[in-house]
Amino acid sequence: MYADLLHALPDVFALTNFAAVIIGVVAGIVVGAMPGLSATMAISVLVPFTFGLEPLVALGLMAGIYNGAMYGGAIPAVLLRIPGTPAAVATTFDGYPMAQKGEGGFALQVAVVSSAFGGIASAFALMLLAPPLSRVTLLFGPSEVFWVAVFGLASIIFLLGGNPVKGLISACFGVFVSVIGSDPIYGNDRFTFGQLEMLDGINIVILLVGLYALPPVIDLLETPLKTDGINSSKLGTESIWKALPRMNYWKTWLRGSFIGIWIGILPGAGGSMAAFMSYNEARRTSKHPETWGEGEPEGVAAAEVANNADTASALIPALTLGIPGTAVAAVMLGGLLVHGLQPGPMLFRDNPDIVFGFMWQFLFGAILLVLLGGSLATNSFARLLNLPRPLLGSVIIVLMLIGVYSIHGRMFDVYLMLGFGAIGWVMDRLKFPLPPVVLGLILGGFAEENLRLALRIGRGDPMILFQNTTSLILVALTIAVIVGPTLKKRYIDSRKSA
């Protein structure tokens, strides 16, 4: 099993594949550094452009962007107290006070080294845990696969927090979109309204770009961001190699990596939760907790190591079960599907070089962070904050149109994307979670096909879905995921009132 891992290594070092990771990391840092843009949005815009590329080039770009963006979010968090990505909120607590004291450069160097540490740990976790887990899923039949899909949807709806009714509405919408097109078994049209363009169903990329790229563009155009430029001109950066000996945060890095990896594996949780947990733990165990919040570099290390440690680990359930741990993982899952790579055990059996190569690309992407996000580059990336947002918005609009148009070479898809974009904007503003929509689209067809297959095997008897231990365990887990948060809330409320 792990021999495939070594076998995939030479392909990763092919010039184009390695260059893709480098370009991805740089692009990711740029995107992460722009408040309002995120890795999810960047990968959504990127996916349609990767159609013609070799899978490892496309995946290398995605892995690089994901790693880069998680660090890039620290740049405005430190310099402007505006987190570039949601996961960088905890970085502002100590990063911004450091910048005010003229230590912004060191704060960013701590952030980049910690991000790289977290990313490396996460990549190793992916390499170690995904292959054996994928073997377990080989034992699954149609009814188990159906329940895995239901469990995945339930996890992302109920563990994501927020309003479960809104989460359910999002998921129902996603699943409904997944059934548009020809029926997979009988071939009759469903909700195509005579449009030939819809016979093959809704391409996931159209949905991704609409939901994840259009709302941030509207945000960019809606709110002009004013930067004072003070902190970015007083970075006080020295060489990263000189700064390294000052970073003695091994305990924080190890603890934060563990937290980040664990949170990444859990469906529905995400980088911001990991960063907060890691920050709180590091502060709780610190000998000088009173200095935290006033410019403590270890605070930056704790937040950044954890938010990068959840990157590759979020792909463990995504690659093995088809259940993404985070929104970015959901979008990456869409990217895999675009290249004909169906997540699950068959992925490891049929495309070992690609799937293991992807894991290596995550590892190298994390290592490259230190080299590309080092002292000189950090200064340059900090200047990105001065890029005019309206101009950036107009360029992204053009990229969205090109990307979606190039899928099938037709404007119909562009109009469809704009429709999903409008829906996405409303959902975003009313705090409807978007990941369940994507997951609903990915898992909807998958769940339906396996449900119908199971019912055929059981000659129409729905009890076939409950007739083996694995199915029952998955049903129990689904119920636990649905009921768990409510019970926990009641328990906390009862303790508060007691």
What x/- string results for residues 20 through 59 when contact with another protein is judged by CB under 8 A? --------------------------------x-------
The 3-state DSSP class for residue 453 equals helix
Least distance (Å) from another protein to the CB of residue 174?
A: 9
| Residue 393 near another protein by CB under 8 A | yes
Binders of another protein among residues 222 to 281 (CB under 8 A) are 222-224
For 189, list phi and psi in degrees, rounded to 5. -75, 145
Least distance (Å) from another protein to the CB of residue 377?
A: 21
The 3-state DSSP class for residue 216 equals helix
Least distance (Å) from another protein to the CB of residue 393?
A: 7
Binding piece for another protein, criterion CB under 8 A, among 80-88, 131-139, 150-158, 217-225: 217-225
Sorted by sequence, the CB contacts under 8 Å of residue 43 that are 6+ apart come out as: 62, 65, 66, 328, 331, 332, 335
Least distance (Å) from another protein to the CB of residue 447?
A: 8
Number of residues located near another protein, criterion CB under 8 A: 53
Quote the CA–CA distance of 66 and 406 in Å, as a whole number: 23
Least distance (Å) from another protein to the CB of residue 216?
A: 11
Return the number of the residue (138 or 391) whose C-beta is nearest another protein: 391
Quote the CA–CA distance of 229 and 485 in Å, as a whole number: 43
- From the list 404, 428, 426, 403, the residue with the least C-alpha distance to 415 is 404
Binding piece for another protein, criterion CB under 8 A, among 94-102, 243-251, 312-320, 401-409: 401-409
Binders of another protein among residues 145 to 204 (CB under 8 A) are 165-166, 168-169, 172-173, 175-176, 179, 183, 185-186, 188, 190-191
- From the list 33, 153, 30, the residue with the least C-alpha distance to 46 is 30
Quote the CA–CA distance of 323 and 66 in Å, as a whole number: 18
- Spatial contact of 210 and 368, defined as CB atoms under 8 Å apart: no
Q: Buried b / exposed e across 201-234, counting CB within 10 Å, b at 16+? A: bbbbbbbbbbbbbbbbbbbbeeeeeeeeeebbeb
Least distance (Å) from another protein to the CB of residue 178?
A: 8
Binders of another protein among residues 444 to 463 (CB under 8 A) are 444, 447-448, 451-452, 455
What x/- string results for residues 418 through 437 when contact with another protein is judged by CB under 8 A? x--xx--xx--xx-------
Return the number of the residue (95 or 393) whose C-beta is nearest another protein: 393
Q: Buried b / exposed e across 301-328, counting CB within 10 Å, b at 16+? A: bbbbbbbbbbbbbbbbbbbbbbbbbbbb
Distance of CA 87 to the CA centre of its chain: 11
Return the number of the residue (101 or 190) whose C-beta is nearest another protein: 190
Quote the CA–CA distance of 240 and 376 in Å, as a whole number: 9
- Rule CB under 8 A: choose which of 138, 346, 395, 476 binds another protein: 395
Return the number of the residue (183 or 200) whose C-beta is nearest another protein: 183
Pair of tokens at residue 426: 């409303």
Least distance (Å) from another protein to the CB of residue 180?
A: 8
- Rule CB under 8 A: choose which of 14, 401, 477, 480 binds another protein: 401
Pair of tokens at residue 83: 């987190």
Residues that bind another protein (CB under 8 A): 52, 165-166, 168-169, 172-173, 175-176, 179, 183, 185-186, 188, 190-191, 214, 217-218, 221-224, 388-391, 393-395, 397-398, 401-402, 405-406, 409, 411, 414-415, 418, 421-422, 425-426, 429-430, 444, 447-448, 451-452, 455
